[in-house]
């Protein structure tokens, strides 16, 4: 279990983390989600020991590790830009942690072979990082971090530098890996889709604070505030109310509870249709329908329709 209590970290004038406290349950896959500058990477690095906090403590399984250097924390770290040892082969990269611990040669070879198999880099053991693709380098990075059986695995935007298709593949692969190994894992990402898809628990961060920490479903259905709601999914704002695009009913006839609106644009996104509307009071509204619903309504640009939110959220004003 990872516990961070009251962590504050400043870089010159800039406050990256402001009295942040978070708990990561043992065996879970937790995502730190937030925009750039929210402090999520900094928090991860503080947990790893790559940054020293100005205040606060870090506990791993109950032990206070705040003063310990990264070498002594038993964490595995995976970097966004791979941090591959470019002068070593793939095999030597993966073996590094074991060699540093002076494990016997036979053990190292066996373990590296297992990991090469696990990350599907079997035929590439003798290559150098410069000869691998981005996705392959990152799998090597993961294997390298896992080689020493860390009790905690920390990933800093691990798929950020890869293109979309590879990102999705590795994301799914990471989740499967976690389901097998159950290592306590923390992943930092700015991609809400990634966080929601992969994690058991998501910690939403903003400007050095934690906005909410909850399982993905809860974040989506019961967001703590405006920021969280807007960040984890698309949202319409009408006055004080926040409405999800799929929580709007679209009718062809008014029924007393609806409001008039005009279809400005129809965007066909394969299986979904996004209808961009303007209400008669000038407010813009974005509604998401399934293809069947859209076809049933026979929507056209310029058409007048009637809308009614089926669900909306209003947040208490911040004190």
Partner 1 sequence: MAARPEALPLPRVRPSGGAALTAGLSTAYLSLVVLLPMAALVWAAREHGSWRAVSSPQSVAALKLTVFISFAVAVVQAVAGTAVAWTLVRDRFPGQSVVNAVIDLPFALPTIVTSLTLLALYGPRSPVGVHAGFTRWAILLALLFVTLPFVVRTVQPVLVELDREMEEAAASLGASTLMTFRRVVLPNILPAVLSGVALAFARAVGEFGSVVLFSGNSPFKTEVASVYIFGRIESGDSAGAAAVSVVLLGISLAVLLGIGAIRRRATRHDG
Q: Sign of the CA dihedral 31, 148, 128, 132?
A: negative
Starting at the earlier edge strand, list the strands of the sheet with 259-269: 248-251, 304-309, 259-269, 272-279, 284-290
Does 70 bind partner 1 (CB under 8 A)? Our answer is yes
Does 77 bind partner 1 (CB under 8 A)? Our answer is yes
Give CA–CA dist 179/199, Å, rounded.
11
Alpha helices per DSSP H over 54-163: 90-100, 105-118, 134-146
Does 130 bind partner 1 (CB under 8 A)? Our answer is yes
| Among 21, 26, 120, 131, contact with partner 1 (rule: CB under 8 A) | 131
- Choose the stretch contacting partner 1; rule: CB under 8 A; options: 54-62, 128-136, 231-239, 245-253: 128-136
Tally the residues of the chain: 319
Does 231 bind partner 1 (CB under 8 A)? Our answer is no
Tell which positions 291-310 bind partner 1, by CB under 8 A.
none
| Among 128, 173, 306, 315, contact with partner 1 (rule: CB under 8 A) | 128
| Among 15, 55, 59, 83, contact with partner 1 (rule: CB under 8 A) | 83
| Contact call for residues 144 and 75 (beta carbons, < 8 A) | no
| Among 148, 161, 214, 224, contact with partner 1 (rule: CB under 8 A) | 148
| Among 34, 53, 97, 309, contact with partner 1 (rule: CB under 8 A) | 97
| Contact call for residues 51 and 113 (beta carbons, < 8 A) | no
What Å distances lie between residue 248 and 108, 245, 309, CA to CA? Answer: 58, 6, 4
Tell which positions 21-60 bind partner 1, by CB under 8 A.
48-50
- Choose the stretch contacting partner 1; rule: CB under 8 A; options: 52-60, 80-88, 266-274, 304-312: 80-88
Does 111 bind partner 1 (CB under 8 A)? Our answer is no
| Contact call for residues 85 and 92 (beta carbons, < 8 A) | yes
Rg (CA), the chain: 24
Shortest separation between residue 79's beta carbon and partner 1, angstroms: 5
Q: Residues interacting with partner 1, by CB under 8 A?
A: 48-50, 69-71, 75-77, 79, 81, 83-88, 96-97, 100-101, 128, 130-131, 141, 144-145, 147-148
């Amino acid at each position: 279990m990872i516990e961070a209590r009251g962590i504050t970290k400043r870089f010159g004038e800039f406050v990256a983390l402001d009295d942040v406290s978070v708990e990561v349950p043992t065996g879970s896959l937790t995502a730190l989600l937030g925009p750039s500058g929210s402090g999520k990477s900094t928090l991860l690095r503080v947990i790893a020991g790559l940054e020293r906090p100005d205040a606060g403590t870090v506990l791993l399984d109950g032990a206070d590790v705040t003063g310990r250097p990264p070498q002594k924390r038993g964490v595995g770290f995976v970097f966004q830009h791979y941090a591959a040892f470019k002068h070593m082969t793939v095999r030597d990269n993966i073996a590094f942690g074991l060699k540093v611990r002076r494990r016997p040669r036979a053990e190292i070879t066996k373990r590296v072979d297992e990991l090469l198999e696990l990350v599907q880099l079997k035929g590439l053991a003798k290559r150098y990082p410069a000869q691998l693709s981005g996705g392959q380098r990152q799998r090597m990075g993961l294997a390298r971090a896992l080689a020493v059986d860390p009790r905690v695995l920390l990933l800093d935007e691990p798929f950020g530098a890869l293109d979309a298709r590879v990102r999705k593949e590795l994301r799914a692969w990471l989740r499967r890996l976690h389901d097998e190994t159950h290592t306590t894992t923390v992943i930092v990402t700015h991609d809400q889709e990634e966080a929601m898809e992969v994690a058991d628990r998501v910690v939403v961060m903003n400007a050095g604070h934690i906005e909410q920490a909850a399982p993905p479903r809860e974040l989506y259905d019961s967001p703590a505030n405006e920021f969280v709601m807007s960040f984890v999914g698309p949202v319409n704002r009408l006055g004080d109310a926040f409405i999800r695009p799929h929580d709007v009913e679209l009718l062809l006839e008014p029924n007393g509870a609806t409001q008039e609106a005009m279809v400005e644009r129809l965007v066909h996104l394969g299986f979904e249709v996004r209808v961009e509307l303007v209400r008669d009071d000038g407010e813009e509204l974005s509604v998401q329908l399934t293809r069947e619903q859209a076809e049933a309504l026979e929507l056209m640009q310029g058409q007048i329709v009637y809308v009614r939110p089926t669900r909306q959220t209003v947040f208490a004003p911040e004190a």
